[in-house]
Amino acid sequence: MKFHLRVFVEIENLGKAMNALTDSGITGFYIIEYKGMSPEDWEGFSIKEDPKSAITMIKDYATDAVQICTVLNEEQIPIVEESVNKALKDDRYTIIEIPIRKIIVNYGGQEKKSKEVDVWFLEKKVPCFYCGEDTAQRIRIDMNKAKIWCTNCGATRHYIVKGSEKPGE
């Protein structure tokens, strides 16, 4: 089953959260900027019932925040949760998982291009380029991208493959 995952973070933690999602294998997401308040923030406030007063209060007192959204398979959820928890252990965040019953994609009359991509996952124990520790470096290669990250310090390198050649050419 597929899930729509939403990670709510304060704006200053957007980079940490995006890195955590990427490190856990998420390859695409979108963000929604908003102003948010938790119940502790508005406890004791008395809000007038007219919409203009409520909106003004939210604009004045709410925190700038971001909702990072993605669609993923159920098996990926524990990996993503662990990665986000590790990256944001000292920060406020909320994760919401919404089961998806159906996805409809309209290509506007254009024929959908087939996109079968082999993804390779490798691991090699070598000194890290950042921390210098002789530890496992995880490597993810797909289509035209490669990502290498250290299991010790989390330092990550990203590469874009510009071309390839066949043997004998």
Domains detected in the chain: 1-102 (3.30.70.120), 118-162 (2.20.25.190)
Of 130, 152, 163, whose CA–CA distance to 138 is shortest?
152
Q: What is the pLDDT of residue 112?
A: 66
Find where tokens 């008395």 sit: 46
Q: What is the pLDDT of residue 164?
A: 62
Contact by Cβ (8 Å): 35, 9: no
**Which residues of the chain carry a pLDDT beneath 50?**
none
Tell me the whole-structure pTM to 2 decimals. Answer: 0.58
pLDDT in tens, 11-22: 999 999 999 999
